[in-house]
Structure 1
């Protein structure tokens, strides 16, 4: 098994205090997912050089947009309204996360089915390119194979050997965990002190299932 590389290599564009607008799926109410990740993080805790991601910062990266200093707030507000109107008319299927796998500089749970998340990402990319210009869209780091929907649960803060990583992954759950995603989030993302964080989060609800008629 391949090991992991340091996730926190220098990225000169991320100057102190700089924020990036990005679309995420966030999981504040996903209690089954929280329990699953707590189990897997406990299994990985003895792997040297792995930093566990706090529950409040769990996310699935969908699409980066632009640094706040390079776009006007009015442009982002218009983008948010347009994307909100689009996602209000679509509903994601039940998603499934797992099992844990290595991903170059992190351990994550792949999320299935991927096609609906790829279609959501394409919608956001096309809308952002139209409203703020493709040349200003910032690409968040991706898996080596391109966009593979996943929820990272731990970042490497140093080089980690394949043997150490394999020993930790063997103790993680082989099961898939169901997720019902009720909203898309627009966040103002920061990268500092070996952590991704955000204070601003606008939730854009997906369409909800139709109620079952009472006979």
Structure 2
């Protein structure tokens, strides 16, 4: 199991270090695809997580907080709620009548900070990300929009909270042969997100439906 570049990871580190700009108590306007109404995804994730219950050094992602990152818009002390709502209006306008893409969650990947399910096809979310990023740039100006997510989309199911030897992770999950799950991406949500408690938590600002 490999990094996004294809090279096997030889070290896993904690995911919960403070990225630039982040601090305890700070919130961010962001767009995510959530899976609260996808029991088929919950079942798949639960199978993998059950295999990891004896593994120390990881926080298993609560099923209600499973998500795929689309695009950050900005911290709430830099982007006002009126601006965030204006982005919602534009995204809603641009996605009206758009056919929902279908994604497949298949296999497992171990990264330097997470255990995740790859999203296939690899570029399935590119158009959606471009719509949200374009709407944010139109409202805020391109120079205020945070960088897009790095690498291919993946659904994180466990986050490292300390240094872990990936050998132990591979031993528990690499032999699992689970059926892939395919779901349509029929909505995307604007969230006010924080990570104060070593998990991703949010309040929902709006949900935009596709199709």
TM-score when scaled to structure 1?
Answer: 0.87
Aligned-pair distance for 1:134? 2.2
Give a deviation string over 1:92-148, Cα, whole Å, max 9, x none: 2321112111122001111112323012112221221121022222347x5xxx331
Question: What residue ranges of structure 1 are gaps of 5+ in the alignment?
Answer: 208-215
Task: Please tell me whether residue 197 in structure 1 is matched to residue 197 in structure 2.
Answer: no
Task: Please tell me whether residue 148 in structure 1 is matched to residue 162 in structure 2.
Answer: no
Q: Which secondary structure state, in structure 1, belongs to the residue aligned with residue 125 of structure 2?
A: helix
The whole-number CA distance in structure 1 between the counterparts of 2:135 and 2:60 is 34
Match of 2:4 in 1: none
CA RMSD of aligned residues (A): 1.7
Question: What residue ranges of structure 2 are gaps of 5+ in the alignment?
Answer: 1-7
The whole-number CA distance in structure 2 between the counterparts of 1:159 and 1:171 is 23
Match of 1:176 in 2: 180
Q: Which secondary structure state, in structure 1, belongs to the residue aligned with residue 46 of structure 2?
A: helix
TM-score when scaled to structure 2?
Answer: 0.89
| Structure 1 range deviating more: 15-24 or 3-12 | 3-12
Contact 1:46–1:168 (Cα < 8 Å) also in 2: no
The whole-number CA distance in structure 1 between the counterparts of 2:51 and 2:24 is 33
The whole-number CA distance in structure 2 between the counterparts of 1:89 and 1:133 is 26
Task: Please tell me whether residue 45 in structure 1 is matched to residue 49 in structure 2.
Answer: no
Match of 1:107 in 2: 115
Give a deviation string over 1:42-84, Cα, whole Å, max 9, x none: 1122222011000110001111110111022221111100001
Equivalent residues in 2 for 1:1-215 (5 A)? Answer: 1-2=8-9, 3-11=11-19, 13-139=21-147, 142=149, 146-207=150-211
The whole-number CA distance in structure 2 between the counterparts of 1:124 and 1:69 is 20
The whole-number CA distance in structure 2 between the counterparts of 1:22 and 1:130 is 16
Contact 1:39–1:172 (Cα < 8 Å) also in 2: no
For this pair of structures, how many residues does the alignment match? 203
